[in-house]
Amino acid sequence: MNGSGPFDLVARVGAWAIDAVRRIGAATLFMLRVLFASGTSIARPALTVREVYFAGALSLVIIMVSGLFVGMVLGLQGYDTLQTYGSEEKLGVLVALSLVRELGPVVAALLFASRAGSAITAEIGLMKATDQIVAMEMMAVDPVARVVAPRFWGAVLSMPLLAALFSALGIFGAYVVGVRLLGVDDGAFWSQMQAAVDFRQDILNGVVKSIVFGIGIAAVATFEGFDAPPTAEGVSRATTRTVVHSSLLVLALDLVLTGFMMQMWGD
């Protein structure tokens, strides 16, 4: 029946809600499985190191180039606004706080979800579609321990390192634009930055954020890959879901974490 009455709408919303709850439950159980199966990743660190290379090292170019450009744009925009108030020497503070607290972890996480998260989902999904996962089970090897857990921890470890690099390159980009091109005083740029940026409130909070984002992206990417229907369309949809869901998750987590951290530090 192709109904379009209010009851059909309620039924569709209900079905969507039930499916969403079911998937959240399945994802939670899956993550518990990954955690319990993480012993292999600890006992054989080479497996995780390999995934740090694939998820982290291969994302370096996009993260570094993006960080540089974002920093340069921040330098331009910040200078334009600050010089109105004669405060252009505060450019270093503006750029550093923006990057270390927010833009570094968030933009790096969004790029990481697109570059590495989608790759993790596609790889696991294709392994499933081509019977490699079942073959591993038939060889009495747990695919969650051997395939999923190393990729999960590889992504979690990569994320804070990439976010730190993003922020560092961003600050360098702002330095090039602000100091070298627009003439902001070199000493003021660095000294004001050093005076204003607090290790615990700013740098540590940024690191905590990037670790939490890494866990979120890795969880979504591995679950979507493992849960993907074993067809070309299924893997394609799962890959898209990974990018969309992990990006939204990063933004939602950022809001929650920022509120929590401001409360915690009395900012």
Partner 1 sequence: MTDAPLVAIRNCNFGYTPARRILHDVDLVVPRGKVVALMGGSGCGKTTLLRLIGGQARAQTGSVEVAGENMGTLDADGLYRMRRRMGMLFQGGALFTDMTVFENIAFQMREHTDLPEDAIRDLVLLKLHAVGLRGAANLMPSELSGGMARRVALARAVALDPMLVMYDEPFAGLDPISLGVIGQLIRRSNDALGATSIVVTHDVQESLKIVDYVYLMADGRIVAEGTAEEMRESDVPMVRQFVQGEVDGPVGFHYPAPDYRADLGLAADA
**Backbone dihedral angles phi then psi of residue 142, each to the nearest 5 degrees:** -75, 115
Q: Which residues contact 126 (CB under 8 A, 6 or more apart)?
A: 235
Stretch that binds partner 1, among 6-14, 136-144, 202-210, 245-253 (CB under 8 A): 136-144
**Backbone dihedral angles phi then psi of residue 101, each to the nearest 5 degrees:** -80, -45
Query: Site size for partner 1, by CB under 8 A?
Result: 15
* CB nearer partner 1, residue 131 or residue 267: 131
Q: How many CB atoms lie within 10 A of CB 39?
A: 11
Q: x/- string (CB under 8 A) for partner 1, residues 137-176?
A: xxxxxx---x------------------------------
* CB nearer partner 1, residue 123 or residue 202: 123
Q: How many CB atoms lie within 10 A of CB 29?
A: 11
Query: 211 to 250, contacts with partner 1 by CB under 8 A?
Result: none
Nearest distance from C-beta of residue 71 to partner 1, angstroms: 36
* CB nearer partner 1, residue 42 or residue 195: 42
Give the H/E segment covering residue 167. helix 149-175
Q: How many CB atoms lie within 10 A of CB 99?
A: 29
* CB nearer partner 1, residue 141 or residue 264: 141
Could you say which DSSP state residue 183 is in?
A: -
Query: 106 to 135, contacts with partner 1 by CB under 8 A?
Result: 123, 126-127, 130-132, 134-135
Nearest distance from C-beta of residue 52 to partner 1, angstroms: 15
Question: Maximum CA pair distance of the chain?
Answer: 73
Query: 74 to 103, contacts with partner 1 by CB under 8 A?
Result: none
Nearest distance from C-beta of residue 252 to partner 1, angstroms: 33
* CB nearer partner 1, residue 17 or residue 135: 135
SS3 state of residue 37: coil
Q: Which residues contact 196 (CB under 8 A, 6 or more apart)?
A: 93, 96, 97
* CB nearer partner 1, residue 126 or residue 203: 126
Rounded to a whole number of angstroms, the distance between the first and last alpha carbons of the chain is 57
Interface residues with partner 1 (CB under 8 A) are 123, 126-127, 130-132, 134-135, 137-142, 146
